[in-house]
C-alpha cells in the first residue's frame, strides 16, 4: 500500500491518553495510518483506515527524510486487507524529523525493529 502525506502527527507521551506514544498521518485521499503504543504494553497498535491490529514481533519500521516504510507479517496483515507493506511518502519538515524519530524509537523499543535513515 502506498500513501502520500504532507506530514505526521506525533506525540512521544500523550498524557490525555495514558502516556501513549503515537505517530499518525492522513493520506492525500483521507486514509488514516497510525502507530501507537502504551508504555506498559509489549505490542504496537497499527491502525489503517478504521481497522486496528496489535503486533508484537513481526514488525519493521524504516524512517527516511522522505518516507516511512512499515512491514508486517502476512498473518497480522489479514485484518487490514492483506497489505504487508505500507510505504508512506511524506514531506515532514526537516526541523520535525528528529522528534518523529524519537517518537518512533519509543513506540518500537523492544518490539520489532526500527531503522532510522536520517
pLDDT tens profile 21-54: 999 999 989 999 999 999 889 999 999 998 999 9
Q: What is the pLDDT of residue 43?
A: 94
Q: pTM of the prediction?
A: 0.93
Structural contact between residues 56 and 108, judged by C-beta atoms closer than 8 angstroms: no
pLDDT digits (tens, 9 = 90+) for 89-99: 999 999 999 99
Separation of alpha carbons 86 and 54, rounded Å = 16
The pLDDT of residue 15: 73
Separation CA 100–CA 117 (nearest Å): 12
pLDDT of residue 57: 82
Chain CA centroid to CA 42, Å:
15
Choice among 1-10, 15-24, 43-52, 72-81 with the minimum mean pLDDT = 15-24
Query: Helix, strand, or coil here: 84?
Result: coil
Average pLDDT value for residue range 84-90:
96
Q: Would you say 111 and 21 are in contact if contact means Cβ atoms under 8 Å apart?
A: no
Amino acid at each position: 500500500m502506498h500513501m502520500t502525506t504532507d506530514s505526521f502527527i506525533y506525540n512521544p507521551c500523550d498524557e490525555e491518553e495514558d502516556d501513549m506514544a503515537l505517530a499518525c498521518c492522513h493520506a492525500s485521499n483521507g486514509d488514516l495510518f497510525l502507530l501507537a503504543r502504551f508504555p506498559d504494553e509489549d505490542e504496537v497498535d497499527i491502525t489503517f483506515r478504521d481497522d486496528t491490529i496489535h503486533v508484537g514481533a513481526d514488525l519493521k519500521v524504516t524512517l527516511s527524510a522522505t518516507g516511512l516504510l512499515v512491514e508486517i507479517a502476512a498473518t497480522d496483515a489479514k485484518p487490514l486487507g492483506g497489505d504487508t507493506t505500507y510505504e508512506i511518502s511524506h514531506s515532514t519538515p526537516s526541523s520535525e524529523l528528529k522528534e518523529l524519530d524519537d517518537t518512533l524509537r519509543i513506540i518500537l523499543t523492544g518490539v520489532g525493529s526500527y531503522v532510522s535513515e536520517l
